[in-house]
């Protein structure tokens, strides 16, 4: 292969539409813009969502809800998940490697959902009051 023999793939290149270049081109006179009106003028157009002065849809509808961006750093783990994990010592890194929490998670909390049969030592992981009682009842501890 030589540098002078390299060509783009078929259909990758196409000629630019040259408007306003005479009758024979098929795009002469009005250059594909139709007749008159705001959209036919140079520099004349409207902003996104503009409805000709009528109150636009995004302003007619009520404002609703809020989603905190800090939520992506929080994660929950159930007692059932801990039981399936089968580790004696559990920390945030172990949970990430097991795929139980997302990679961005910083604050992890164990919630009381399901049951725990084996003793688990938690380090750097929080727990709800019910989950804490269940972990301690199974012989585990929180650090």
Paired residues of 89 in beta bridges: 121
- 20 within 8 A of 31, measured Cβ to Cβ: yes
88-133 pLDDT tens trace: 999 999 999 999 999 999 999 999 999 999 999 999 999 999 999 9
Task: Report the SS3 class of residue 114.
Answer: coil
Domains of the chain in start order, with CATH, are 17-60 (no CATH), 70-142 (3.100.10.10)
2-60 pLDDT tens trace: 999 999 999 999 999 999 999 999 999 999 999 999 899 999 888 999 999 999 999 99
Paired residues of 107 in beta bridges: 74
CB-neighbour burial class of residue 69 (10 A; exposed 0-12, middle 13-18, buried 19+): exposed
């Amino acid at each position: 292969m030589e540098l002078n023999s390299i060509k783009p793939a078929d259909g990758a290149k196409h000629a630019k539409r040259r408007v306003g270049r005479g009758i024979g081109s098929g795009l002469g006179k009005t250059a594909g813009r139709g007749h008159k009106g705001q959209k036919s003028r140079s520099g004349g157009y409207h902003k996104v969502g503009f409805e000709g002065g009528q109150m636009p849809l995004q302003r007619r509808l009520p404002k609703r809800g809020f989603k905190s961006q800090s939520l992506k750093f929080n994660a929950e783990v159930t007692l059932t998940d801990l039981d399936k994990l089968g580790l004696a010592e559990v920390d945030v890194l172990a949970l990430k490697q097991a795929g139980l929490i997302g990679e961005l998670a910083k604050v992890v909390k164990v919630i009381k959902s399901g049951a725990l049969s084996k003793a688990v030592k938690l380090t750097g992981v929080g727990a709800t009051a019910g989950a804490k009682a269940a972990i301690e009842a199974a012989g585990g501890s929180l650090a």
